[in-house]
């Protein structure tokens, strides 16, 4: 009536149910944690150029260069349920063509056990800061923000915006010489 295989199946199903319940309880222990941290952002040199975009039929578009400073202590975010943080610096601005433009200009992954104290000075952006059009020249309201995704062992993947942002004013004239 009850074979060895049916008994093994019952034990396996019970074990999986208990493991799922324990994983959910572990998730609840860190669900209400605040994953925010203060961030200081600053900029040094800001340049805008008007260069041809060869992938879009040689139309000229704005290309921004930003040298930034960043300080943040993210060590308080790490606990037993945080595997890693995916950090990204975004530039958000409004142009005539679009009400909202968001561009990721820098990113980094910090794993548990690595140095989570950020202290970058005079750093260049990691990715090109393109605007498809002329939305950067003379733009006085480009906002830099540092955000991160918390990658847990169990549970949801919260997206958190750091406490602190920086407004950048782009010049009214294009830079023609070498950067």
Nearest CA to 136 out of 179, 88, 107, 103 is that of 103
pLDDT for residue 178: 61
Nearest CA to 62 out of 45, 49, 46, 81 is that of 49
pTM given for the model: 0.84
Nearest CA to 123 out of 176, 174, 65 is that of 65
Report DSSP letters for 78-106, one per residue.
Answer: --TTEEEEEEEEEEEE--SS-S-EEEEEE
In tens, the pLDDT along 35-63 reads 999 999 999 899 999 888 776 666 788 89
* Residue 111 confidence class, pLDDT cut points 50, 70, 90: very high
In tens, the pLDDT along 121-157 reads 999 999 989 888 888 888 899 999 999 999 998 888 8
Nearest CA to 46 out of 93, 88, 87 is that of 93
Place of tokens 């019970």: 14
pLDDT for residue 56: 64
| pLDDT higher than 70, residue 177 | no
Check the CA dihedral 23-24-28-30 and report its sign: positive
pLDDT for residue 57: 66
Nearest CA to 88 out of 61, 121, 118 is that of 118
> If you average pLDDT over every residue of the chain, what do you get?
89
Nearest CA to 102 out of 133, 142, 71, 62 is that of 142
The token pair at 119 is 């202290």
Distances, alpha carbon 122 to alpha carbons 41, 129, 151, in Å: 11, 16, 28
């Amino acid at each position: 009536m009850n074979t060895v295989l049916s008994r093994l199946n019952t034990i396996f199903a019970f074990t999986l149910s208990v493991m799922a319940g324990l994983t959910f309880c572990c998730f609840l222990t860190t669900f209400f944690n605040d994953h925010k941290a203060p961030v200081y952002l600053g900029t040094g040199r800001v340049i805008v150029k008007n260069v041809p975009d060869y992938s879009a039929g040689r139309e000229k578009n704005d290309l921004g260069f930003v040298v930034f400073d960043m300080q943040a202590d993210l060590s308080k975010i790490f606990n037993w349920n945080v595997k890693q943080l995916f950090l990204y610096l975004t530039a958000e601005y409004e142009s005539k063509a679009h009400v909202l433009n968001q561009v990721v200009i820098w990113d980094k992954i910090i794993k548990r056990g690595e140095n989570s104290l950020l202290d970058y000075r005079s750093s260049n952006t990691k990715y090109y800061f393109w605007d498809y059009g002329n939305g950067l020249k003379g733009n006085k309201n480009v906002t830099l923000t540092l955000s991160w995704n918390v990658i847990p062992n169990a549970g949801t993947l919260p997206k958190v915006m750091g406490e602190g942002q920086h407004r950048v004013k782009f010049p009214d004239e294009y830079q023609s010489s070498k950067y």
